[in-house]
Chains A and B, each alone.
Chain A
């Protein structure tokens, strides 16, 4: 049997859950619930503050609560049960929300295992102030070119200081640490040009440490990759020179 990757057929056809989809769906739920809880609790707080504001005349709760007096030994006030009910509800919300996201975590960590498909693995090396992408055949480029609808695995490291590689639209991110390699993966279903950015302060050129990411149709990618033959396109150091940051 001929491996699919060798003949360049788009394999998962867009039905693989991309990290971006996972993020967006969870973020949405958190936003809705977070806003609701926030509005509720803040309203509840303000309600208490206003309802129990001091009014002229007698203390309306004089028979219900004892007011503190100067020099007394500090103790707690009555009404602790309500605290526990409210605390219990909030704890259940928080714990169940996080537990719910945990099932997605394992998936986001390792990515999908698709029978018969070879993932594309690209090494990403950060440097002040740019990114180099190294393909399995040794080809090094300053643009990350990947086919659509394929799982792309990144092995991220750094040549100098601590960077962080992220492509915001595709929701992939990994620390780029000198001496260490971190893994990340993504898949894109839409062709087009995206932007990779640095998310860890790395010096004067940090703000402009970006690289283009091109998601291409499968066949275009295949023919481009076939033509690289492991040669460097030699532009990976251009960014550094153009920024003119201080030399190491």
Chain B
């Protein structure tokens, strides 16, 4: 497409474009630049504490300053640098590799980015609120609660809120990528056929969808402990410090379980995209197809699934019993084996190749070698007897830096690899090689001495004098590593002007579709609708698309699908969205595709202001409270603006959609989102069960819950919600029958019943807050005990879901009244999915919190 068809999107030289754009390539660039900024941020913090560690003692940063630096370094690098950096490539490259013209939900993609950016800004602001979070990136409880945070602790609250905002960005991104990859693949591309980088991203987002939901639960509970005064992570809430007086003996372990249930998949979330980049670079620069590709993919799938069953190996010393330890030892060793296979697969891909030592290949090969070292030292940790002694020492620090920063190494290779595609210019190869040499030396000088000095406890500034030589070496290595990055920044910046123009494809033996189009690719990516139906990439022009989509009864499409290269059951090609009457050029998605929206930026800005306000509401300060209010209004208002904005993201007329050919795009997105919501509620319910078991299941009811907490309000609410679900179904039926009155009435009824639910709950809560009995003279409120905390927070989260549903329901009632949905009940169906889900959750909560 020529620039004339940019549909209101300003040119790249204009600043406003970057605030408006919803195009995946622009957003990819934004992600890359922002992630590199956070790399510098986190890197400078690391250099600060490496300076501190040249000699023992906290003479530079002070003890709390030191703790803040190590904690935020970890958080910034893990959350705000490495994954978003990988998702810069994912945004740019995945749609190109699978043959899509953009992501499934372009505005949602922009929203992901802006939420990510502002979450990082909030993280930055936390440094100026007294002090930022100082409890380590693992944020162990109860050090992460206000009781143990020095000063007002607002900075720490901001960090927790920033992480929530980040998690929101990740969840939206996961939904978006999954929908895209299952609905928008070029014809003939089965899931297993998509290029290995895209495949690694697919598995990464699956892990993200579930792992980050668990983290979100942990963070929401922690926020509630910070702001609302619940006591999940406080083991004694009467101010006593005696270990034996614990009111909530499960507090610390609850956090550890929630965090590591997220934390271990996170390791692979960080590493998989890097593995994908390595595999791409190895294929291109060896001129060989990936050896054992099928087994490479199976290995990745196994790891992705098993990653949710290894988390307790981070907790071997917490007193879990031997059988459980044995199981987790076995799963841990089991999950390391697929990586062996992947490593050998990469090594043998070089055999009989034509290996070219370009900068991207050097970084990929370097990453492989570093990963081998990281992997071998990880086996040490798999032996529990050794793990006991390595726990909390520099062995762990050295090991995971060899793994994680090896991932970053591969991603830097990816930056050199795709730089010509993104910019249309070639970087300076000599400077690239110098960068790699300095980087590799700096890396090993930084992290290898940590193995030697492994007896140093983690996160201390005091260590024994005889280890000083190793710590000094590491510090020098850190500065060399940091300086090497300056070479890269210089190289890539200057090459924007001085670099040679590259054509479509500067790399011999590159095969994937992003190299088949110009550099940078045009806004709509491809000169036609891409297809692999005859075994290799070609583009269908308008005429062919029209012929195929307008055949009698779509039989032509079915026939083509049947003859697709793979011939398996997987290749069901559909043209669900293209009706025979659709003009070809419109069906091909060449026109009316929107690329600009200002709302994602505004929503995120509002969210940022609201969260910054929330961080300080517990002080009662007018500034903080008004920020929370204004920010909240801006967010809700812009979300409303976003739904009212006409924005068109046409679906591909011909695409591979297995296994979701019959699930419409919006519905698939909604199902995916609900899948993560199930994990969120699962984590809340699991948390409740865990702290209750730790306290004593039956004593819980006797000791902590007042007799006034009766079943009736819950029972009434159960009936209210069930009836309201039934009414949503009626609304759908009425819409199908084109009865405007019926639709409006049914939706209004749903709304009324939902409001009734909230009112009933309000009365119940108000009563419980103000009871005055012998056991609970001051009422039974959020802070009374762990039972009240779990009750109010879990049912409160459900209540928040009901409230959001009601806002949507009110809007839809109004729309139905003005005549919408008649004959097309899809929107009501999507809302119904959500509403039924909220009902089903209640069916779990009611017995758990009212009967048992």
A: which residues have CB within 8 A of B? Answer: 22-23, 26-27, 30, 34, 37-38, 41-42, 44-46, 48-50, 52-54, 59, 61, 64-65, 67-80, 82-84, 86-87, 90-91, 94-95, 97-98, 101-102, 104-106, 108-109, 125, 127-128, 157-162, 164, 166, 168, 171, 173-175, 177-183, 197-208, 245-246, 248
Contacts and interface: CB of A to CB of B under 8 A. Distances in A.
A127 B236 CA distance: 14
Interface in B246-302: 246, 248-253, 256, 283, 286-296
Interface in B228-256: 235-236, 241-243, 246, 248-253, 256
Contact of A48 (B315, B351, B535): B351
A102 B391 CA distance: 18
A248 B797 CA distance: 30
B67 interface: yes
18 contacts: A41-B372, A42-B373, A45-B350, A45-B369, A70-B515, A70-B537, A71-B536, A80-B295, A102-B384, A158-B243, A161-B141, A162-B140, A173-B389, A177-B319, A180-B318, A182-B319, A201-B71, A205-B63
B376 A71 contact: no
Contacts of B196: 74
Contact of A203 (B143, B194, B235, B385): B143
A217 to B, nearest CB: 27
A204 B141 CA distance: 15
B344 A162 contact: no
A74 B694 CA distance: 52
Say what secondary structure dominates the interface of chain A: mixed
B296 to A, nearest CB: 8
Contacts of A171: 388-389
Given A52-B351, A76-B292, A94-B337, A206 B372 contact: no
Contacts of B377: 34
Nearest to B330: A98
Contacts of A45: 347, 350, 365, 368-369, 372
A75 B43 CA distance: 39
A52 B249 contact: no
B516 A70 contact: yes
Interface of B: 58, 63-64, 66-67, 70-71, 134-136, 140-143, 147-148, 150-151, 188-189, 193-196, 235-236, 241-243, 246, 248-253, 256, 283, 286-296, 315, 317-319, 322, 325-326, 329, 333, 336-337, 340-341, 343-345, 347-357, 365, 368-369, 372-373, 376-377, 379-380, 382-386, 388-389, 391-393, 455, 457-462, 505, 509-513, 515-516, 532, 535-538, 565, 694
Contacts of B256: 162
A201 B355 contact: no
Given A48-B347, A166-B392, A73 B148 contact: no
A140 B545 CA distance: 84
B246 A179 contact: yes
Contacts of B343: 41
B365 A49 contact: yes
B793 to A, nearest CB: 20
B252 A179 contact: yes
Given A109-B322, A161-B148, A248-B241, A74 B385 contact: no
A207 B57 CA distance: 9
A79 B252 contact: no
A201 B319 contact: no
A72 to B, nearest CB: 5
Contacts of B535: 72-73
Nearest to B150: A246
B252 A30 contact: no
Contacts of A174: 317, 319
B516 A78 contact: no
A73 B536 contact: yes
Contact of A175 (B136, B319, B509): B319
Contacts of A198: 457
Contacts of B351: 48, 52, 79, 82
Given A38-B376, A73-B536, A80-B291, A101 B135 contact: no
B195 A74 contact: yes
A175 B17 CA distance: 53
